Structure 1
Amino acid sequence: MNAVQCGEFIEGATVIRPAESKDSAVAAGLVFLSGPAAFEHIFGSGHDPDIRDFLKAEFAKPATMFSHRHHFVYEQDGQLIATIGGFDKPSHDATLMGNAKAIFSQYGWRGIVKGLMFELRLVKPPRKGCYYLCHIAVDPQWRGKGIAAQLIDFMTVRAQGLGYSTLSLDVAELNIGALRLYQQMGFKLVKRNKSYNSVLDNHLYMEKTL
């Protein structure tokens, strides 16, 4: 199947479209699945609010990196089954204050410190001139059908249209399935970021020339 274009239905029932605030209930759960260990570590599963509730609230709002404004969703027969996010350096940097305020209001300084540590040590901010992919997640019942590849193809076309020559992402080293997919799609390892604790996996920073 070829990459789905934004707003173009294929096979009568499939579409990739910009996410909307109304998608937050389902999309939040998918975003969580894109990195459950990291979310659990940063926000803490034993603290209120529940991580998925936090992501749901922020997905519906405009200010943070978890906002629908930075995401696209994949629908099959009207069912939302996958997400993907995309940032360049300016759009990522514009969320920093919103991220800090939202995290502090719900999880205090502990959440901010853990989040900063994670981003500085394992998942680097987008570099200038590069389009960065994140929150790539597919409903477990729909995995193995090429949906993640379609999302990446879609974002590749988007990045080229925006004038970027490089696509990038981070992946947990032990996420073998995702790593294999990214390699098959032309992403090359640029740097291995070693984990700073026993909870989080080493992360691989990868780039693809467009």
Structure 2
Amino acid sequence: MEIVKGRGSLSEDFSHLLILSAPTLFATVFGEGFKEIIQKIFKERRNLFSFEHTYFLKMDGKIAGMVLSYDWTIKRREEINTGRALFKHMGLKLIKRFPLLLKLNGVVGILNRGEYYISNIAVYPEYRGMGIGTTLLSFVEESMKSKNIKKLTLDVETKNEGAIRLYKRLGFIILRKVSTKLKGITFEFFRMEKIKAK
């Protein structure tokens, strides 16, 4: 196993894995063509889907999984740039989707001072059960030790029982349950956190 920093040439793997992390959610919020759009945005700097915030795990030279994560300062600094990047590549389609994005942003991805957010983590189906998710999460936790971060946070769909079990095993606790209705579909999430060890 080898962990590598994200780079533009990995945009196809990024889009596949990002969509695997929440397939119904991304299809509902962004609609058709999202995979191609997110590949373009991934290649750009200073946005919350950028290669700059992504790490991939390789097995036998092939990408097996990825994690997209960032701290509260990056979230504040790059949130507007992310909207600009989406508008640049989606155009007027974004205006139609904007109310959905606002509703979703009202329940997930909320970060407070001193928090580090795991936005998305995914493993290709053929590599599941091999400890890749655990390795990626441990890497994120280890890499934040040098920063002034108090806790790791994430949002997970309540129906994603396998991921919830993994997070609990790694010391995350459920803080609260939130939900939102998007295009007639109710999405429920657990906000989970892990306090940084002293």
Question: TM-score by structure 2 length?
Answer: 0.91
**Given that residues 71 and 86 in structure 1 are in contact (C-alpha distance below 8 angstroms), is that contact kept between their aligned partners in structure 2?**
yes
Q: Provide the identity percentage.
A: 25
84-93 or 196-205, larger mean C-alpha shift: 196-205
**Given that residues 29 and 100 in structure 2 are in contact (C-alpha distance below 8 angstroms), is that contact kept between their aligned partners in structure 1?**
yes
Q: Distance in 2 between the 1:109 and 1:89 partners?
A: 26
Q: Distance in 1 between the 2:191 and 2:180 partners?
A: 13
Q: Distance in 2 between the 1:95 and 1:64 partners?
A: 5
More strand by share: 2
The one-letter code matched in structure 2 to 1:19 is G
What is the RMSD of the two structures over their aligned residues, measured on CA atoms? Answer: 1.4
Q: Distance in 2 between the 1:200 and 1:144 partners?
A: 29
Equivalent position of 1:112 in the other structure? 98
> How many pairs were matched up?
192
Equivalent position of 2:124 in the other structure? 139
Residue 15 (str. 1) matches residue 2 (str. 2): yes
**Given that residues 37 and 200 in structure 1 are in contact (C-alpha distance below 8 angstroms), is that contact kept between their aligned partners in structure 2?**
no
Question: What whole-Å deviation, never above 9, does each CA across 1:71-109 have from its counterpart, x for those lacking one?
Answer: 111111211111101111110122222221222331231
Question: What whole-Å deviation, never above 9, does each CA across 1:133-178 have from its counterpart, x for those lacking one?
Answer: 1210001110111100110011111112213121111100010000
SS at match of 2:187: coil
Question: TM-score by structure 1 length?
Answer: 0.86
Listed as ranges, the gaps of 5+ residues in structure 2 are none
**Given that residues 174 and 201 in structure 1 are in contact (C-alpha distance below 8 angstroms), is that contact kept between their aligned partners in structure 2?**
no
2:34 aligns with one of 47, 51, 58: 51
Equivalent position of 2:77 in the other structure? 94
Equivalent position of 1:206 in the other structure? 192
Residue 41 (str. 1) matches residue 28 (str. 2): yes
1:119 is displaced (CA, Å) by 1.2
Listed as ranges, the gaps of 5+ residues in structure 1 are 1-13
What is the correspondence of 1:173-184 to structure 2 with a 5 Å cutoff? 173-184=158-169
Q: Distance in 2 between the 1:63 and 1:124 partners?
A: 17
Q: Distance in 1 between the 2:160 and 2:105 partners?
A: 18
The one-letter code matched in structure 1 to 2:17 is L
The one-letter code matched in structure 2 to 1:123 is V
**Given that residues 109 and 119 in structure 2 are in contact (C-alpha distance below 8 angstroms), is that contact kept between their aligned partners in structure 1?**
no
Q: Distance in 2 between the 1:35 and 1:20 partners?
A: 22
**Given that residues 37 and 199 in structure 1 are in contact (C-alpha distance below 8 angstroms), is that contact kept between their aligned partners in structure 2?**
no
